[in-house]
């Protein structure tokens, strides 16, 4: 059976006709920010509170043991989904926490004055600021891979900033503004050739594209459940087992140690427990597994194909609107970033909001990309597995009529 977007949509309460914004039925095109949740995920989260409430890894009674099994089963589902070993899956609160764990737990320990960290100008704040902080503390230097005119990281450009001082390469697989799909295996190969490790920000890729941690040979991978139909406050850091052994935990406390003594000595558990101090987001972990199973039931390749179809459908229509400037005509992952000539991005987003259409405007947390874009703020639409042509048509209709509305507004 083909991709049935209508039956997929029926599973999302937020897509029910009763949900209105400014009196219009809702068109949600801000999926790079967060996605809606299907009923099965909502039910799974609720099942933790109605049937399963207990801590995990902290007791010897059946109910708690059931939670241990739930946590293990989600770990197994993640490992299957991104192709890594079960012991390489660490639960975190999301991509931001995972990237901070790599920067502070690995970077701070392994970097010295003059060492180099390679990132790009398109990186999200969560893949920039932890490195800025770690660079300040260690004296390491940040280098930026030059992007091509369409925002791609080529092998030549990556090599141009690599040296024997490069210790860490930290890049997004898919950027959240330009939406380009970078070649992760190439980036890993180049990083390793120079003896550096590579950390991949998978926030915008894992929900949309087949991920293969093992065959791409990457060292760390970070992503969030809420961008893939799962709950907020839960995500993962995947790390190669040998690096997890060397890395220090960013957070310490209950559940991550074997023993500690009055003289200050501590014996930590091995990974993943070493990195999971404190009671975990257990309802989130249960919901996350259901989200992965939901995505698997549709098929990640089908989702990617659908995203592309929707973005291409939108792109074709947008290209023909005179005053619309598109910044990423080549992108292949459901993200389109644009502006209307001489209109501030937030004004455009406000206009769309007034017609029930949710988009993102501003800098999208990628605040050093303005040099590349040659403008401070943009408007972004981003699709997901439930986006349909009617959503795009409603959006494009506003773009088409919006010029007149904005002219009238500004001439008053």
Ligand X SMILES: Cc1ncc(COP(=O)(O)O)c(C=O)c1O
Query: Catalytic residues, which ones?
Result: 365
Task: Decide: 24 and 356 in contact? Cβ < 8 Å.
Answer: yes
| Least gap, CB of 175 to ligand X (angstroms) | 6
Which residue stretch of 60-68, 92-100, 136-144, 236-244 sits at the interface with ligand X (rule: CB under 6 A)?
92-100
Which residue stretch of 38-46, 88-96, 308-316, 388-396 sits at the interface with ligand X (rule: CB under 6 A)?
88-96
**Scanning the structure block, which residue is given the tokens 């993102």?**
360
The 237-266 contact track toward ligand X, x by CB under 6 A, reads ------------------------------
Task: Decide: 142 and 383 in contact? Cβ < 8 Å.
Answer: no
Q: What is the DSSP letter of 228?
A: G
Cα–Cα distance, 262 to 322 (Å, whole number): 71
Measured from the CB atom, is 224 or 337 closer to ligand X?
224
- In the structure encoding, which two tokens stand for residue 373, read together? 């874009």
Q: Per CB under 6 A, does 172 bind ligand X?
A: yes
Helix or strand holding residue 82 (H, E): helix 62-82
Measured from the CB atom, is 48 or 223 closer to ligand X?
223
Q: Per CB under 6 A, does 92 bind ligand X?
A: no
Cα–Cα distance, 348 to 346 (Å, whole number): 5
Which residue stretch of 42-50, 162-170, 198-206, 289-297 sits at the interface with ligand X (rule: CB under 6 A)?
198-206
Q: Per CB under 6 A, does 204 bind ligand X?
A: yes
Measured from the CB atom, is 201 or 391 closer to ligand X?
201
Q: Per CB under 6 A, does 224 bind ligand X?
A: yes
Measured from the CB atom, is 5 or 275 closer to ligand X?
275
Q: CB-based contacts of 208: which residues, under 8 Å, 6+ apart?
A: 174, 300, 303, 304, 307, 333, 334, 384
Maximum C-alpha span of the chain: 73
Sign of the alpha-carbon dihedral angle for 235, 271, 282, 277:
negative
Q: Per CB under 6 A, does 96 bind ligand X?
A: yes
Q: Per CB under 6 A, does 95 bind ligand X?
A: yes
Residue ranges with strand state E in 125-201: 141-145, 166-172, 197-201
**3-state SS class at 254:** coil
Q: What is the DSSP letter of 52?
A: I
| Least gap, CB of 123 to ligand X (angstroms) | 7
Measured from the CB atom, is 33 or 183 closer to ligand X?
33
| Least gap, CB of 203 to ligand X (angstroms) | 3
Q: Per CB under 6 A, does 121 bind ligand X?
A: no
Which of 35, 166, 170, 176 lies at the binding interface for ligand X (CB under 6 A)? Answer: 176
Which residue stretch of 20-28, 82-90, 121-129, 301-309 sits at the interface with ligand X (rule: CB under 6 A)?
121-129
Cα–Cα distance, 342 to 167 (Å, whole number): 43
Cα dihedral: 171, 96, 87, 188 (round 10): 0
Measured from the CB atom, is 224 or 290 closer to ligand X?
224
Cis peptide before 148 (omega within 30 of 0): no
Which residue stretch of 101-109, 124-132, 303-311, 367-375 sits at the interface with ligand X (rule: CB under 6 A)?
124-132
Task: Decide: 391 and 27 in contact? Cβ < 8 Å.
Answer: yes
Number of residues that bind ligand X (CB under 6 A): 14
Residues of this chain that bind ligand X (CB under 6 A): 32-33, 94-96, 124, 126-127, 172, 176, 201, 203-204, 224
């Amino acid at each position: 059976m083909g991709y049935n977007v209508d039956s997929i949509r029926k599973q999302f309460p937020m897509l029910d006709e009763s949900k209105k914004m400014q009196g219009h039925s809702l068109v949600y095109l801000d999926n790079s920010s967060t996605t809606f949740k299907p009923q099965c995920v909502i039910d799974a989260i609720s099942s933790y509170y109605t049937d399963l409430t207990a801590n995990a890894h902290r007791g010897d009674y059946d109910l708690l043991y059931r939670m241990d099994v739930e946590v293990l089963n989600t770990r197994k589902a993640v490992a299957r989904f991104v192709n890594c070993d079960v012991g390489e899956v660490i639960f975190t609160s999301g991509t931001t926490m995972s990237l901070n764990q790599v920067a502070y737990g690995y970077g701070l320990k392994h970097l010295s004055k003059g060492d180099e960290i390679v990132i790009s100008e398109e990186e999200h704040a969560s893949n920039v600021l932890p490195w800025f902080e770690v660079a300040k503390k260690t004296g390491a230097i940040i280098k930026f891979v030059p992007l091509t005119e369409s925002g791609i990281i080529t092998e030549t450009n990556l090599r141009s900033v690599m040296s024997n001082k490069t210790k860490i390469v930290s890049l997004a697989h898919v950027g959240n503004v330009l939406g380009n799909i970078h070649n992760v295996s190439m980036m890993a190969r180049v990083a390793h050739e120079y003896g550096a490790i590579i950390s991949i920000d998978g926030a915008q890729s894992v929900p949309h594209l087949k991920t293969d941690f093992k065959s791409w040979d990457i060292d760390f991978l970070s992503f969030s459940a809420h961008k893939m139909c799962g709950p907020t406050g839960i995500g993962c850091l995947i790390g190669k087992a040998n690096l997890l052994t060397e890395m220090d935990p960013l957070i310490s406390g209950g559940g991550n140690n074997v023993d500690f003594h009055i003289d200050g000595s501590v014996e930590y558990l091995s990974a993943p427990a070493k990195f999971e101090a404190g009671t975990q987001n257990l309802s989130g972990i249960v919901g996350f597994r259901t989200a992965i199973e939901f995505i698997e039931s549709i098929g990640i390749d089908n989702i990617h194909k659908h995203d592309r179809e929707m973005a291409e459908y939108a792109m074709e229509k947008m290209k023909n609107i005179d005053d619309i400037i598109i910044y990423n005509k080549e992108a292949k992952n459901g993200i389109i970033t644009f502006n209307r000539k001489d209109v501030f991005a937030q004004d455009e987003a406000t206009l769309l909001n007034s017609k029930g259409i949710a988009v993102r405007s501003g800098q999208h947390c990628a605040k050093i990309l303005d040099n590349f874009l040659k403008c401070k703020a943009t408007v972004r639409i981003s699709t997901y597995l439930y986006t349909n042509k009617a959503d795009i048509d409603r959006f494009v209709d506003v773009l088409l009529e919006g010029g007149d509305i904005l002219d009238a507004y500004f001439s008053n």
